[in-house]
Chain A
Amino acid sequence: AQSVTQLGSHVSVSEGALVLLRCNYSSSVPPYLFWYVQYPNQGLQLLLKYTSAATLVKGINGFEAEFKKSETSFHLTKPSAHMSDAAEYFCAVSGDTDKLIFGTGTRLQVFP
């Protein structure tokens, strides 16, 4: 069985500051891991995914995430936050089925 824990339901940063959104997973098989972003009243958009190739994954909008098996983590980072990054971010895991298991989400606020 798979599960995902996102630490911090709300994260606030200043524009230009580092963004760090935390995700820890549990999986009995080698996982595939995903980060999605959701803007208000819209669907989810894929930011990046890890599929057992390189452990550092680069995504859209300057985001990247690093898969750390020893820590069962897949944290999302961006060196410099923009106002347009304000949204809700979801981490998800899939393992031995076609189904994704989502975390409860982290709302990112960016202050000028």
Chain B
Amino acid sequence: SQTIHQWPATLVQPVGSPLSLECTVEGTSNPNLYWYRQAAGRGLQLLFYSVGIGQISSEVPQNLSASRPQDRQFILSSKKLLLSDSGFYLCAWSGGVGLDTQYFGPGTRLTVL
């Protein structure tokens, strides 16, 4: 069966510090991968998605970037965090066969102080 991991689970970082959040998927190959941010009372905002190694599409211009160095690894990064980057970050995967279900990881709670 497939599983999706995210770490860390929680993170408190000062403004201006760098960020690296990692997401890995097991039990499937060539998944579509997604990064979402969930801010309080604002639902889920799609940040990035990837259909393959090195292929990243950005949905919203912002202070973050994403990379996919391996087939089942998706990384969310920032060089300098802003207060507005605080939120709950969720990684998801799908089978990549168009219109398929997305399955979510446990999330990372990021607080920027």
Listed in ascending order, the chain A residues whose CB lies under 8 Å from chain B are 9, 32, 34, 36, 41-46, 49, 51, 90, 94-95, 97-100, 102-105
Contact = CB atoms under 8 A, between A and B. Distances in A.
Contacts of A90: 43-44
A1 to B, nearest CB: 14
B26 to A, nearest CB: 15
Main secondary structure, interface of A, reads loop
A89 to B, nearest CB: 11
Contacts of B88: 41
B105 A102 contact: no
A102 B36 CA distance: 11
Interface residues of B, number: 25
A44 B99 CA distance: 17
Contact of B49 (A43, A49, A95, A98): A98
A108 to B, nearest CB: 15
16 contacts: A9-B41, A32-B99, A41-B107, A42-B106, A43-B90, A43-B105, A43-B107, A44-B104, A51-B99, A90-B43, A95-B99, A98-B32, A99-B34, A100-B102, A102-B43, A103-B43
